[in-house]
Amino acid sequence: MVAGRRKVLFKRSVVESILSYSKMCYPNEGILLLRGRKTRDTLEVNGVVIPPGAMHGRNFSSFSWFFLPPDRSYVGVAHSHPSGAMEPSHQDILHSSGSIMVIAGYPFTDEGCISVYDTEGNKMDFSVED
């Protein structure tokens, strides 16, 4: 663990929302904004928002931050990989925004299908709380 890196904590309802939204969008990619709270050593993700104007394709999903009010409670973006790949693509890293990037890989069954990365594409540990 890198010094100074925050611990990522998900509410279980957030994990469930990401997985069910990913299933709903399948075979296209789904994308969700993550809301949460940052403290000195923890990043807590406690809600998801379907981005306005989201576009979904088989290999891409995008939205425009233009539609969103400036809001510091957005901590990152989650999107699904219908291919099942758990690694961020080059494009994902180029376009990552916020503090974390969450990738849900097919078949979206449980938290084992979720990976968390920082904005440089380094994998981060996370835990889920009820």
Residue numbers at the binding site for Zn ion (CB under 5 A) = 89, 92
Strands 42-49 and 100-105: unpaired
Give 16 or 92: the residue with its C-beta nearer to Zn ion.
92
In whole angstroms, the minimum distance from the beta carbon of 105 to Zn ion comes to: 10
What's the closest the beta carbon of residue 53 comes to Zn ion, in angstroms?
A: 18
Q: How far is the CB of 4 from Zn ion (least distance, A)?
A: 27
Cα of 34 vs its chain's centroid, Å:
6
The length of the chain is 130
Q: Which residues contact 67 (CB under 8 A, 6 or more apart)?
A: 51, 52, 53
Least distance from Zn ion to the Cβ atom of residue 84, Å: 12
Nearer to Zn ion, 92 or 111 (CB): 92
Nearer CB in complex with Zn ion: 11/95: 95
The residue among 87 and 110 lying less far from Zn ion, judged by its C-beta, is 87
Chain position whose Cβ is nearest to Zn ion: 92
Question: φ, ψ for residue 127 (rounded to 5)?
Answer: -135, 160
Give Cα 37 distance to the centre of its chain: 14
Residues paired with residue 100 on neighbouring β-strands, in sequence order = 76, 118
